[in-house]
Amino acid sequence: MHIESDGFARDIAVADRAGNAPGVFWMSGFMSDMGGTKASEVDQWCAGRGLACTRFDYSAHGASSGTIEDGSLSRWLEESLTVFRKTADGPRIVIGSSMGGFLATLMAKALCAEDLACPLIAGMILIAPAIDMTERLMWEEFSDEIRKKVMETGGWFRPSPYDDGGYRITKRLIEDGRKHLLFDGPLLTFPYPVAILQGRLDEDVPLDVALDLVALLDADVSLTVVPDGDHRLSREQDIELLLKTIERMATQ
């Protein structure tokens, strides 16, 4: 899928399988992609039940074009909205993991602003949602030295247990992220169920972020804390919990 805006063109890789409603719309995390364990398991589960399922890669992720230097929440949100609008021909359960949970919430906010009934969203499942991640989980955690490096050189490689080279955190990402902060804003009213799955041992997105999100939502919201769960929540028992959550929401 080709997208061009503000002089920035990119090709977005999309895996869209037709099926019954409510289908699933998957949104991956930062530097993750639609071929990850959770996304693949969800897709196979939907296929076995004849449900529609859409997965895609943000620009600079997976099979999509672009570099991380050009990446920003604004661009990834635009891509998410574009793919959703072009593929959702019926109600969808939107599932967002980590940054995908943040983008899913921003996408739902935009869609519900257009139509208070949000007819194309049947529900949301947020896995360790990294709400306000660029400020709360990055900038506020950075030392003065790292902040200076980001601002003066344009970025910094943050060490990560998931990538030996670390993740590039850019000045563009930090500054653009301030346009999308939710915790300082009004309550978010969503007319559909929201389920949050959170690992208590998550060192990347702490439990308090999920608790603050519960307080921010004016919705039928549930929070399930996995006592021994980490950030990825990709073990067999974690996947089973996710699939049961989808099934429960799909049959409501």
pLDDT digits (tens, 9 = 90+) for 90-115: 999 999 999 999 999 999 999 999 99
Q: Name the nearest CA neighbour of 185 among 252, 131, 145.
A: 131
Query: At 162, is the pLDDT very low, low, confident or very high (cuts 50, 70, 90)?
Result: confident
pLDDT tens figures, 124-137: 999 999 999 999 99
Q: Which residue has the tokens 């608790």?
A: 211
Of 155-164, 172-181, 203-212, 226-235, the least confident:
155-164
**pLDDT at position 23, please?**
97
| 6, pLDDT greater than 80 | no
**Sheet strands (E) in the chain:** 2-5, 8-11, 14-17, 20-27, 51-56, 92-97, 121-127, 155-160, 163-170, 188-189, 194-199, 217-218, 221-226
**Exposed, middle or buried, 45 (CB in 10 Å: 0-12/13-18/19+)?**
middle
| 5, pLDDT greater than 90 | no
Quick check: 28 and 61 in contact, CB under 8 A? yes
**pLDDT at position 166, please?**
87
Query: At 138, is the pLDDT very low, low, confident or very high (cuts 50, 70, 90)?
Result: very high
**pLDDT at position 170, please?**
98
pLDDT tens figures, 179-215: 999 999 999 999 999 999 999 999 999 999 999 999 9
For the domain covering 2-250, report its CATH number: 3.40.50.1820
**pLDDT at position 149, please?**
97
Structure tokens at 84: 């959703």
